[in-house]
Amino acid sequence: MAETPAVARSYTFDPFARHQFYHDINESLVRLALAQLDQSMPPGKPVRVAELASGTGAVTELILDELERLGRPGHVLGVEPSPEAIEIAAQRLYGRPVEFAQGEASDLARLASGADAVFFCNAIHLIPDKAEVIRMLTATLRPGGFLAINSSFFTGAYAPGSERFYHLWTRRALGWLREHHPEARPSRSEKTTAMVWLSADEYETLMDESGLRVATRSEETAYMPLSSWKDIGSYWLFIEGALPGVPIPIGAEALSWAAGQAFAELDLTVVPRVWLQLVAQKVA
């Protein structure tokens, strides 16, 4: 399993995940998926839910809250490669019916075989082979079980008119790096294939090919304030994707400063961003 760097403890996803819009977007997916699962099962029957890339537990908490709200007993297993993220999630959800295991997609079927539902939120864009990960997620489900996936890194994520923000943000970050840390140039060769974006249709085709039937597909827009761009720009995995090869603390400073600059120059209060939300059922 890939090691997470020491900086992962200081540059976590958690501040971003605590924004209200992030909660709302994910809650919407969780409710869509669990409503369908709940309706498909006899009342009172406990459910087994697995969540790949459970991170710092933001979506895990929403899943547990929704099961409670539906009056559906159940247990959640979060599978996540980063021990730092698991530590935060375990503290956050102490005492609730959840456990965490360090692992990734290839471990999921072994750890959570026959799950009634599998969630994989805000992470599929990080995986180079999306067809393979969808096959692994499908293999983990029991026939008739539900898969829920979302991402704001897909073709269509940029709300119309928002492109100029991304161009300026990048330009200002590179300018800041040149001025303050000329030695820390982003490496072109390190640009990862994981950052290849698929369209909603392409995701649907991959699901189809893997034996899933897409039950709901929607695109929801979040209105993201400056503080959230600073927070995502201070997350180590985002920095690795945006400024490959640049040391994380320097990349965080560049992206955070440049976000403020772009907002000020374009006189923005929010930047809209589109999330793709997909719920699919494994063909019985």
Ligand X SMILES: C[S@@+](CC[C@H](N)C(=O)[O-])C[C@H]1O[C@@H](n2cnc3c(N)ncnc32)[C@H](O)[C@@H]1O
Which residue's CB is nearer to ligand X, number 149 or number 177?
149
Q: Is residue 268 within the footprint of ligand X (CB under 6 A)?
A: no
CA gap 26, 61 in Å, rounded: 10
With binding defined as CB under 6 A, does residue 77 bind ligand X? no
In the list 30, 122, 138, 153, the residue contacting ligand X (rule: CB under 6 A) is: 122
CB of 130 to ligand X, least distance (A): 11
239 near ligand X, rule: CB under 6 A: no
Residue 13 sits in the site that holds ligand X (CB under 6 A):
yes
63 binds ligand X (CB under 6 A): no
Closer Cβ to ligand X, 27 or 208, answer by number: 27
- Considering only residues 29, 32, 77, 121, which one is a binding residue for ligand X as defined by CB under 6 A? 121
123 interacts with ligand X by CB under 6 A = yes
Residue nearest to ligand X (CB): 55
DSSP letters along the chain, please? -PPPPGGGGTS-SHHHHTSHHHHHHHHHHHHHHHHHHHHHS-TT--EEEEEET-TTSHHHHHHHHHHHHHT--EEEEEEES-HHHHHHHHHHTTTSSEEEEE--HHHHHHHHTTEEEEEEES-GGG-S-HHHHHHHHHHHEEEEEEEEEEES-STT-B-TT-HHHHHHHHHHHHHHHHHH-TT-PPPSTT--GGGPPPPHHHHHHHHHHTTEEEEEEEEEEEEEEHHHHHHHTT-HHHHHHHSTTS-HHHHHHHHHHHHHHHHHHHT-SEEEEEEEEEEEEE--
d(CA 199, CA 201): 5
Positions in 178-207 near ligand X (CB under 6 A): none
Task: Tell me: does residue 151 bind ligand X (CB under 6 A).
Answer: no
162 binds ligand X (CB under 6 A): no
CA-wise closest residue to 82 among 27, 23, 152, 7:
7
Per rule CB under 6 A, is residue 80 in the interface with ligand X?
yes
- 251 binding ligand X? (CB under 6 A): no
| Closest CB 284 distance from ligand X, rounded Å | 27
Give the residue with the Cβ less far from ligand X, 105 or 109.
105
Q: How far is the CB of 234 from ligand X (least distance, A)?
A: 13
The answer to whether 64 contacts ligand X (rule: CB under 6 A) is: no
Specify which residues 29 forms β-bridges with: none
Amino acid at 126: L
Contact with ligand X (CB under 6 A) among 52, 88, 136, 268: 52
| Binding of ligand X by 134 (CB under 6 A) | no
Q: From CA 91, how far away is CA 272, in angstroms rounded?
A: 32
> Minimum distance between the CB of residue 235 and ligand X, rounded to whole angstroms?
7
58 interacts with ligand X by CB under 6 A:
yes
Question: Which residues in this chain contact ligand X in the complex, by CB under 6 A?
Answer: 13, 17, 52-55, 58-59, 80-82, 85, 104-105, 121-123, 126-127
